[in-house]
Structures are given as structure tokens and as C-alpha cells.
A and B are shown apart, each in its own frame.
Chain A
Amino acid sequence: MNPSEEFVLLSRLHIRLESLIVLIVLSATMAMLSPVFLSVNNLFNIILATATFGVLAIGATFVISSAGLDLSLGSVLGLSSVVGAALVVTLEWPWYFAIIGSLFAGTMAGAVNGFIITRGLVPAFIVTLGMLGIARGLALIISGGRGIYGLPNEILFLGQARPLGVPTPVFILAIVAIISHYILAHTRFGHHTLALGDNEAAAKATGIDISRQRMLLYMLSGLMAGIAGLIFTARVNTGDPTAGLNYELLAITAAIIGGTNLFGGRGSILGTMIGALIMGVLQNGLNLLAVQAYYQQMAIGIVLIAAVWLDQVRDRRRS
């Protein structure tokens, strides 16, 4: 195959072949090392764990492919979890306010990020790093530093039920991923996101409203953190102010190993889903092999750096 044919094939699939191979090889290795790995229960464990940060990784994919960055994903997840639970448990509002509250809190945090980035011209790196602290602090203040227990059954259904034998969070992730794939790969919003990440000046010159585009992207990223926060709350029956700690590391890594270009211009939701599964399998496998959690954090960090490094080597060879 010549390079252009290869590109057409991959872009049609919106998937990077390497990440698919990594997922298969990694799964095969884990299956050989641990007899439990391939059990149905364990596979459910993997996708259940993947569902929460998988939704975050979708937010990361949108922002990073526009050459932005959202470091506040994990903290906003925690804030959303607390806000949703506080409305329903502490204030005793109807159950659906857990959904509305979580999604609203996430979207608003994203809107604040987007507003300061586009109006204040402060780099996204700084704004979302600041929001990482602000959202986490706010979650701890609202909850008094303690988990808010005891959500109504309607909410627990979203985290703990298994309609058709499949955990609800997996359905939620699948629906969010399909809609997001449609938006990024097939709508003008998606095309403009990639163009903005590829060449901001070109996007502006062709008449794309780049401030509006950025604003919407950070709101979308916040919304994803809100959905992930809701799933988290429902799974553990708690609005947890420490929920999602370090999840931005998982989400950004999943997006990058799924083929999103850290410098913008390229990104795919299907690729990110494969990236998220790689992270899920890696974590689960290390758990089964009884590797200490401390080492797991290191492993994820190493995967992130290695993925970007490999990307750089590829790009340099190409040009």
C-alpha cells in the first residue's frame, strides 16, 4: 500500500491500526498470565471501570484535537458527583436533579474554562490547571469533605443495574461514544474542531468563529466530566468529593494512545474507545497480577509519555 491508500483506509475506519494491535496483544498477554482475566465477570469489571474514564476521554479527545487541553476533567468529575448528590440527598430534591445537577455543574465548569481561555487569552494549560484546584476545592467545601451517601433507586439504576445483562454505565458510554463519533467525524462542528487544531490561522481565515468553537469545546468537555461524575455517583451510591482524582491522566492517555494528535488536527472517538480499553485492560491486568497501585500510576504515566514519543518519531520520519 502506498501512503495515501493507507491513510484513506485508516481515516475511513477512524481507528489507528497500532492501537488495535496493542489492545489485542495486551489482552492476550494478560489472559496467559492470569486465568481469571477472560472470565465474563472480569470482562464486565474491565468495561465497567472503563466506562467512567472512557466518557472523560471523549471530552479529552474533542479538546486535544482542537489543540487545546483540559486538565480539570478529573476534578470537575468530583464536583459534578458532589453537586448531583447534594441536591437530591442533602436538599431532598426529586431524584432527577442528580442528573440535571451533575451535567449542569460539569458544563458550567467547562464554560468558565472556555470563557477565560477565549476572552482572557490565558493559555488552556493554565486555566484548566487552575480549575483542577478550584473544582476539587469546591467539591470538598460543598460536601464538607465527606461523601454524600444514599441516592434514590432511580439513580442507582444508572450505575448498578444490568439491563439485558450489561451494566448500565456501559450503555451510557456506548450511546455517548456513538453520538460523539457522529459529531467529531461527520458534522461541521467536528470538521471545524480538527481544522482549528490543525491550523488556527487557516480556520479563522476561512470564516470559522474560533472563539465560539473553543467555548463550545470546553463546555462539551465539562459536560462529559458531568456525565462521568453521574456514573461515578450511581456506581458507588455516593457523591464523592475525591471522585476522579488523577482521572485526567487516564483520560488524556486514552485519547493519545487512541490516535489523537497531542498538537491538534487529528482525533477519533472510536480510536479513543480503543485507547480507553487499553487503559482498562492494563489496570485490570495489573490488579489481577497483584501489582501495587503505586506501580500502576507509574505504568500509566510511562504509557502516556511513550505514546507521544512514538508519535513524534513517526511524524519526524514522515517529514
Chain B
Amino acid sequence: MALLTMSGLKKSFGSIEVLRGIDLEINPSEVVGLVGDNGAGKSTLMKSITGVYSLDEGNIRFEDQNITSLAPGDRRARGIEMIYQDLALAPQQDIANNIFLGREPTKKLWGFLPGFVDKNKIDAEALSMIDRLGAQIPSIHVPVGRLSGGQQQTVAIARALTFDPKLVIMDEPTAALAVREVEGVLKLIDQMQNSGIAVILISHRLNDIFAACQRIVVLRRGSVIADLQQEATDMNEVVSYIVGAHG
């Protein structure tokens, strides 16, 4: 059974129709590459899955539940995470707080004052997640804005993985990284798949797509125009779909 099922998704901004009836299924622990030219609708489609955009038409089912009208926070709680291209980090807050942003664990201070954010727990769990990702970070208390691009990427990934997600959407995770850091991200996608997480990878770098994904979906002008198995296709075919030159 599919983990995520999208049927007939439509979305317009003003008079511009960005999604024109998308039907797509994602299976558990499957790594799917999503490619397409600028303006093909990739980001809009992903933000519709996370709930940041609301759809005009169509519905989304996750684990056989209709999630079409759920708020972003509720969808995260069900296991849908997205790592944004701009990383969606709060630059003046520290690494640990960014990882737990929106889901801070609380306790009662001195046993009776309610709603106290359990900073010790946040720090300890954030540190162990950063360690597990093998990242070099000076201190968990550094404001995220002072980290390098690669380190910030790690924080964004740590945030997505801390709450046992079932689906992780990655928007251009390798675009701003050095070659060595790219390898790290690809290895990480592999690990995620092995631990049962489905991944949707958006990237302009077809090398990365072919290295990481079993399935490649091509979006063009708001429609799915190709849904290919990685071993049955090649870069030339994918490129020809992207630019609209195919058959």
C-alpha cells in the first residue's frame, strides 16, 4: 500500500495555474527523485504536501488517512517532514532550539509551574542527533546564523530526523554544498531508506538524483509527464522529458 497518495491536485496563484491535476503515489522507504524545469511546480507540490499551501482541488492521503485539510503542524506530527532549500532556520536561536522548533518538550518547573521548556532535554537530544549525523559543530548553543552552509544543512536535517519521520522531502539539499558534503547527504539518504523512511528528493543535479533514487518523476508545467524506474532510463531521456523534447 502506498504511503502517500496524491489525486487530482490543482493549485493556482492568481491566473497562473501551477499544478494542473497531479496524481502520484509514494511507497514506504522509497527514494523518489522529483525533477523539472524552474516553474514546473516542484516546490508548490511539496509545500502542498506539507500543508504550507492549501490546494484548490484534489486530495492527499497519508497512511490511508485524508490529510488534505490538516495544518502544517498536524502533518509534521503524523511524520511528514520537509527540509527547505532556504533551510527554514531561525538564525538568532541556537542549534538545539532550532532542532526542536515548534515541538519543544515541556515540564513543570519545581513541580508546579507549567509549560517550562525542558532546555536540558532539548540540548541533550539535539547533541546526540548532531553526533549521530557525524557533524562537526563547536557548541549546541551557537546561534545558527553563525554556522557555515554545510553545518546549517546538518541542523535542518537533524530537525527533520529527530521525531522519527515516515516521509522526508528534501528541496535541493545539495545545491549549496561542497563536493564532500554532497557525498555525506547522499549517504544519509541511503541510511534513511534503510531505516524505513521514504524520501522525495528535489534536485537540479541529475548526478545526485541518479545516485540516490530508484524512481524518477518528471514534472512539466504542473503535470507529471514521466514516472521512470532509474535502471530503465538514463540522463538523456530524463533531460528530454524536462525540456519537453520527448516524443
Contact = CB atoms under 8 A, between A and B. Distances in A.
B35 to A, nearest CB: 23
Q: Which of B84, B97, B141, B159 has the largest count of A CB atoms less than 10 A from its CB? A: B141
Given A194-B92, A205-B72, A187 B102 contact: no
A249 interface: no
Given A8-B139, A187-B116, A266 B72 contact: no
Interface of B: 50, 52, 71-77, 82, 84, 86, 88-94, 97, 101-104, 106, 109, 113, 115-117, 119, 138-139, 141-143, 146, 159
B88 A206 contact: yes
B71 A207 contact: yes
Contacts of A203: 90, 101-102
18 contacts: A4-B141, A7-B142, A182-B116, A186-B116, A186-B117, A188-B104, A201-B88, A203-B102, A204-B52, A206-B73, A206-B76, A206-B101, A206-B103, A206-B159, A207-B73, A207-B102, A209-B73, A265-B93
A306 B89 CA distance: 30
A4 B138 contact: yes
Nearest to A2: B138
B74 A186 contact: no
A182 B115 CA distance: 10
A199 B88 contact: yes
Nearest to A65: B92
Nearest to B118: A186
Contacts of B52: 204-205
Given A187-B115, A205-B88, A207-B76, A8 B104 contact: no
Interface string A265-282: 110000000000000000
A11 B73 CA distance: 28
Closest 8 CB pairs of A and B: A207-B73, A206-B102, A198-B90, A202-B88, A265-B92, A205-B88, A187-B115, A207-B102
Contacts of B104: 188, 191
A204 B117 CA distance: 19
A208 interface: yes
A171 interface: no
Contact of A195 (B73, B101, B142): B101
A265 B101 CA distance: 13
Given A204-B52, A205-B84, A261 B76 contact: no
A203 B138 CA distance: 25
Interface string A227-269: 0000000000000000000000000000000000100011000
A1 to B, nearest CB: 12
A261 B92 contact: yes
A194 B91 CA distance: 10
A8 B141 contact: yes
A205 B87 CA distance: 10
A188 B115 contact: yes
B71 A209 contact: yes
A189 B115 contact: yes
Interface of A: 3-4, 7-8, 11, 182, 186-192, 194-195, 198-199, 201-209, 261, 265-266, 318
Main secondary structure of the interface of A (DSSP, over half): helix
A265 to B, nearest CB: 4
Contacts of B117: 186-188, 190-191
B92 A208 contact: no
A201 B94 CA distance: 17
A203 B86 CA distance: 13
Contacts of A198: 90-93
Nearest to B145: A319
Nearest to B141: A8
A186 B97 CA distance: 12
Contact of B90 (A11, A182, A199): A199
A186 B94 CA distance: 14
B73 A201 contact: no
A11 B115 CA distance: 20
Given A3-B146, A4-B142, A192 B115 contact: no
Contacts of B142: 4, 7
B143 A7 contact: yes
Q: Which of A3, A186, A190 has the largest count of B CB atoms less than 10 A from its CB? A: A186
A11 B123 CA distance: 14
Contacts of B75: 207
Contacts of B103: 206-207
Contacts of A191: 93, 97, 101, 104, 117
